[in-house]
Amino acid sequence: MSKCVCVIAEFRNGNFRRVSFEVVSEGRRLANSLGAALCGIAVGSGVQDKAAELGRYGVDKVYVVDDPALENYVAETYAPVIGQVVEKCNPLAVILPASVDGKDLAARLAARLRAGLAQDCTQIACENGVIKAKRPIFAGKCFAWCEWAQGALPIISCRPNVMDCSAPMEDKKAETEAFAAAIPEARSRVLGIDLDTSGKVELTEAEIIVSGGRGMKGPENYAMLEDLARLLGAAVGASRAAVDSGWRPHSDQVGQTGKVVNPNLYIAVGISGAIQHLAGMGSSKFIVAVNKDPEAPIFSKADFGIVEDLFTFVPLFKDEVEKFKSTCS
């Protein structure tokens, strides 16, 4: 294959993660503008049987490294294995998910290949064969356009939930080729994996987030938000104030020192809207703010503002959503 763009698909628990398909779709668009082929890189244990699936989103050929030693993500082994495939492909660019593992892998891979890395990109552009990528800095207070030096390999990690996922071409299968990679001896290992099986939606990948702040007054009151979230299929987030008070786990924190999220709908309940919180959720497509203080800064970002006591409003709102859902189904 002459010129190509490489996409690295993320495989976990026997399946590709959804963000992989977003990345493949974006890779296809970039490959088209460059007049290049799209090569997939699929690494894991048991990934061989699934690899051809990437064709549904536009991959022409998948290089597969399927080995029990690659069952779990370990940067120290994944980076050299994937590095070998990239070196063989000699691509115009490498694209991968800016997931937890993806960002980590991208950094180690970039150092290994002496490449230039743009993390967590929200847009990729290509003008006259020149690749540019846009990424948030200062947790989204500002955006930076990046370009690569002549001859440098662009590695681009894409923020989940941002790139358009193409409609799958159901009958399309990618060609697959087993790649015999040397897997180095690792000095690091996974001791255990504890997956939450409660069906809780991950914040950074959620389409709807219901978030609570200092106005919730205590941890016991979050049950109300959890009920609403369950009804909406939403994840529950929290402001730094709520996390610092010990009401919610740190993994729920939204903001500059927490997670940056971009759901379709963000419902901020009892959150005043400190600048470091606004940075973390300001790119949400729709924002609803519920706060009894009409002067709260959160209202400046909200598409729909509700000035009410949250303890009165949230249960009423939940009932109305429930009624609405029952009339729709």
Partner 1 sequence: MNIVVLLKQTPDTESVIRIAGDGKSIVTNDLKWIINPYDEFAVEAALRLKEKHGGTVTIVSWGPQRVVESIRTALAMGADSGVLVDDDALEGSDSLGVARVLAAAAQELAPDIILCGSRAVDYDEAQRGPMVAELLGWPHLALGVAIDSDGAKVSIDRPIEGGKVSVEADLPAVVTLGGSHAVWNPRYASLPGIMKAKKKPLATKKIADLGVDPGDCGAGAAKICITSLEMPPERAPGRIIDGGLDALGKAQELVKALHDEAKVI
Region 196-225 residues binding partner 1, contact defined as CB under 8 A: 196, 200, 202, 204-205, 207-208
Contact 27, 2 (CB under 8 A): no
Scan for tokens 């978030």, then name that residue: 211
Query: At its nearest, how many Å lie between partner 1 and the CB of residue 213?
Result: 14
Applying the rule CB under 8 A, the residues between 33 and 62 that interact with partner 1 are none
Kindly indicate which of the ranges 32-40, 44-52, 63-71, 192-200 contains the residues binding partner 1, using the contact rule CB under 8 A.
192-200
305: how many CB neighbours lie within 10 A of its CB?
18
- Name the residue nearer to partner 1 (CB basis): 175 or 322: 322
Q: Rule CB under 8 A: say whether 193 interacts with partner 1.
A: yes
Beta pairing class for 11-12 and 15-16: antiparallel
Considering only 2, 68, 114, 223, the residue that binds partner 1 (CB under 8 A) is 114
**Nearest to 254, CA basis, from 223, 216, 213, 298:** 213
Read off the tokens for 26: 């974006």
- Give the interface size with partner 1 as a residue count (CB under 8 A): 104
Cα 32 from Cα 49, distance rounded (Å): 27
Site map (CB under 8 A) of partner 1, residues 302-321, x = contact: xxxxxxxx--xx--xx-xxx
Give the C-alpha separation, 203 to 282, whole Å.
Answer: 14
Rounded to a whole number of angstroms, the minimum distance from the CB of residue 248 to partner 1 is 9
Which one, 142 or 167, has the nearer CB to partner 1? 142
Give burial (CB, 10 Å; 0-12/13-18/19+) of 146.
middle
Query: Which of 205/226 has CB closer to partner 1?
Result: 205
Chain positions 125 to 164 lying near partner 1, rule: CB under 8 A, are: 132, 135-149, 152-154
Q: Which is nearer to partner 1, 27 or 140 (CB)?
A: 140
The b/e string for 49-86 (b: 16+ C-beta within 10 A; e otherwise) is ebbbbbbbbbbbbbbbbbbeebebbbeebbbbbbbbbb
Using CB under 8 A, which residues numbered 222 to 241 contact partner 1?
232, 240
Decide: 60 and 172 in contact? Cβ < 8 Å.
no
Footprint on residues 245-304 left by partner 1 (CB under 8 A): 246, 250-251, 253, 255-258, 264-265, 274-276, 279, 282-283, 285-288, 294, 299, 301-304
The one among 94, 115, 225, 228 contacting partner 1 by CB under 8 A: 115
Strand partners, 9: 42
Task: Indicate which single residue of 69, 126, 165, 186 sits in contact with partner 1 (rule: CB under 8 A).
Answer: 186
What's the closest the beta carbon of residue 178 comes to partner 1, in angstroms? Answer: 26
- Closest distance of CB 255 from partner 1, Å: 8
Place of tokens 């974006």: 26
